[in-house]
Amino acid sequence: MKKISEFIKSLGFTFSFKRARKAFVLVFLFALIGVGVYLFYEFENSESGLKRIYAKEVSQKMDLQGKEIIKIYKKDVNEDKKLDYVFIAGEELRSGENELNSVVEMYNNVDFVIIDGQTELVTTYETGKNFNSNVTLQVCEDEQDRYFIISDLSGNISLCKLVETEMQDVESSSSIVDIVKNTTSNEFLGYTIYTKKDAENSNIVNVTIDNFSKEYLGESKDTKKLDFTEMGIDISKYRETYLRDKFSEFELKDTNNDGILELVAYQHILYSLDDEVNENKTLGIVETIFNIEEDKLKFNKVEVKIQD
């Protein structure tokens, strides 16, 4: 130990607890700064962080007229190699007047907006719809087109597409078409669902669906038998959906692997009566597939089944 002490002294280093504390504090501060920078960087690149950054940039380019940006992306959606702003915005309807002590329940009068990253031209489509707070905006593309799907879990949907239009044969501009609105001027509803339990086995449910003459839905006169016996689920604890003719979820999906997206709309058949149940909250689905042709939805097929 004596030799080690003499060696340290020969280096000109004098140990003291005061210096050790200072060194520890400095190391701690540098570590704290490092963690802070890392967390700030992570926040900036998170969905919430990017939303705040993009929303501030958008506010300098257009007047949102009191509406709040709900979802926003920066993507090149018009193939000019410049990132465009793509977002939805709406009027917040909160559970209370105090913003800090309330949550957003609805977004009223939702708009879909694209700001050209090169020209800063603003293209706005007023959906005229109100969406629940769980509304999402998805950008999907296939071999032919790019689509923007705005939907919530209560059956509200706008399926949009950006198209080029010619103005005065000189200038070209963009416009947004709503494929759902082109399909029907009425509310976009699904099949009306009827269920009846089997007389011999209460875990077997017979399901029939009726399109009630909706032109965009095909007829289905068959009764589908759904057998939940092997799932070990007590069907008596489930009720028939209250949303008898409303879609629950939507997705754009290439269902036949041809490189072209179809719109798949889902309706849940049974809901659990137990609020504490998390798994198997819903049982059975009506899956309706639409082709997208000439900016309209064309019925492809419908299937009543148990979820995979």
Q: Give the per-residue pLDDT at 239.
A: 87
Q: What is the pTM of this model?
A: 0.81
Residue 86, number of CB atoms within 10 A of its CB: 21
Taking 70 as the pLDDT cut, the residues of the chain under it are: 1-47, 165-174
Tokens, residue 179 = 């494929």
Q: Give the per-residue pLDDT at 169.
A: 40
Q: Do the beta carbons of residue 260 and residue 143 sit within 8 Å?
A: yes
Phi and psi, residue 233, nearest 5°: -110, 135
Q: What angle do CA 153, 174, 45 make, to 5 degrees?
A: 55
Q: Give the per-residue pLDDT at 98.
A: 81
Element (H, E) at 30: helix 17-44
Tokens, residue 42 = 């992570």
Longest dimension (CA), the chain: 99
C-alpha–C-alpha distance, residues 93 and 90, integer Å: 9
DSSP β-bridge partners for residue 4 = none
For residue 69, which amino acid is it?
Answer: I
Q: Do the beta carbons of residue 198 and residue 225 sit within 8 Å?
A: yes
Q: Give the per-residue pLDDT at 247.
A: 94
C-alpha–C-alpha distance, residues 109 and 245, integer Å: 23
Q: Give the per-residue pLDDT at 35.
A: 52
Rg (CA), the chain: 28
C-alpha–C-alpha distance, residues 105 and 130, integer Å: 11
Q: Give the per-residue pLDDT at 122.
A: 93
Q: Give the per-residue pLDDT at 274.
A: 80
For residue 241, which amino acid is it?
Answer: T
C-alpha–C-alpha distance, residues 103 and 77, integer Å: 32
Q: Give the per-residue pLDDT at 43.
A: 41
Q: Give the per-residue pLDDT at 237.
A: 86
